[in-house]
Amino acid sequence: MSSKEKNSVTILTESQLSSRAFKDEAYEFYKEVRKSQPLYPLSLGALGKGWLISRYDDAIYLLKNEKLKKNYENVFTAKEKRPALLKNEESLTKHMLNSDPPDHNRLRTLVQKAFTHRMILQLEDKIQHIADSLLDKVQPNKFMNLVDDYAFPLPIIVISEMLGIPLEDRQKFRVWSQAIIDFSDAPERLQENDHLLGEFVEYLESIVRKKRREPAGDLISALIQAESEGTQLSTEELYSMIMLLIVAGHETTVNLITNMTYALMCHGDQFEKLRQQPDLMNSAIEEALRFHSPVELTTIRWTAEPFILHGQEIKRKDVIIISLASANRDEKIFPNADIFDIERKNNRHIAFGHGNHFCLGAQLARLEAKIAISTLLRRCPNIQLKGEKEQMKWKGNFLMRALEELPLSF
């Protein structure tokens, strides 16, 4: 999207937000709208009218605003409810990311004990072993595609073992995850995604049947136990929760590891500083989360009650989408916001969200990234980008800021 085209656009569509062209120039676009139009109009097809939020303070306000709901059933009457876009939608949407209190609190409580500080720290040796094993495979070649060879398999192995699902199915998870986070309303894409989600539902049904017969000490078995207790978890909530843990359990971390490595490759002074001062790793991870936020746009929030923002009435049933990527580059909050600085102080980014829906797996993602990047720099000290940074392509994806690949030599 050229500057001329952007200046002439008054309403953004879902397909534009999901395009590779938008991702390539998103930061420039966000900088402009933060100044001139912080409440930017959207046309979201069957979802209706929406608004894109670009400023940090607005994001903080709206992420905690009780007038916005994640479950559209808390906004629409029975007559107003939109028909399901996908046949398998109901089986995969009854999770905590699409719920409001008190349901959200109930669902989150069922899984949060698996993500406590103590439980996460117990995974450290396992994650280190996985990182070393993955690098053992590629190091003799002195080349790898970071996404396929390292950033994707590491977190998917971790979450698969936590859930108790076969590692050999991880490539299927990758395909199914992309179908879930693809917001396209193009008929051919909807049909393809519905087919893939149908496969995912069948897979979940088979896994649950097996775990019912042979429960183990894994997270799926614990969720099945909660379901058997009646009011704790419905069958649809069970499938939806497993789906969410599989998808969210790796997608954010894949992008964090990849985007951080890419940022270091593009900023040689920061890369060298981190190699010389490994104690800056925690700070570097926070800056990577801010600079190339793994989740670019939030999932949908529905307006339950009208309110005014920047002089504009936000009407009931309007959709609110918050750009975490834009908020994390807000010049009023982050001095020199477009500079990648691994020693940045007071880094109050919201890459993992804010409020009730703050990412449950944030601590796990940080630990996985810390081990992955530290191990990579220690074992491959001469690592460098293979090709020009301008050749790297961002995926056309609504929610995520994700590179298609990141070729590295060492």
Question: Per residue of the chain (410 residues), what is the pLDDT tens digit?
Answer: 444 444 455 799 988 999 999 999 999 999 999 999 999 999 988 888 999 999 999 999 999 999 999 998 999 988 887 655 556 666 678 899 999 999 999 999 888 888 989 899 999 999 999 999 999 999 999 999 999 999 999 999 999 999 999 888 888 888 888 888 776 666 677 788 888 888 988 999 999 999 999 999 899 998 988 766 656 788 888 888 899 998 888 999 999 999 999 999 999 999 999 999 999 999 999 999 999 999 999 999 999 999 999 999 999 999 999 999 999 999 999 999 999 999 999 999 999 999 999 999 999 999 999 999 999 999 999 999 998 888 899 999 899 999 999 999 99
Question: Hey, how many other C-beta atoms are within 10 angstroms of the C-beta on 15?
Answer: 17
Beta-bridge partners for 314: 307
**CA-to-CA separations, 11 to 25, 88, 323, 327, 405, in angstroms, rounded:** 17, 30, 16, 20, 31
What does the pLDDT read at residue 57? 98
**Is the distance from CB of 362 to CB of 352 less than 8 angstroms?**
yes
What does the pLDDT read at residue 277? 96
**Is the distance from CB of 356 to CB of 383 less than 8 angstroms?**
no
Amino acid letter, 148 = D
| Phi-psi category of residue 139: left, alpha or beta, with phi > 0 → left and psi -120 to 50 → alpha | alpha
**Is the distance from CB of 337 to CB of 347 less than 8 angstroms?**
no
What does the pLDDT read at residue 84? 59
What does the pLDDT read at residue 92? 72
What does the pLDDT read at residue 7? 46
**Is the distance from CB of 12 to CB of 52 less than 8 angstroms?**
yes
Would you call 67 exposed, middle or buried from its count of C-beta atoms within 10 A (0-12, 13-18, 19+)?
A: middle
Taken in order of first residue, the domains within the chain and their CATH numbers are: 3-409 (1.10.630.10)
What does the pLDDT read at residue 269? 97
What does the pLDDT read at residue 110? 86
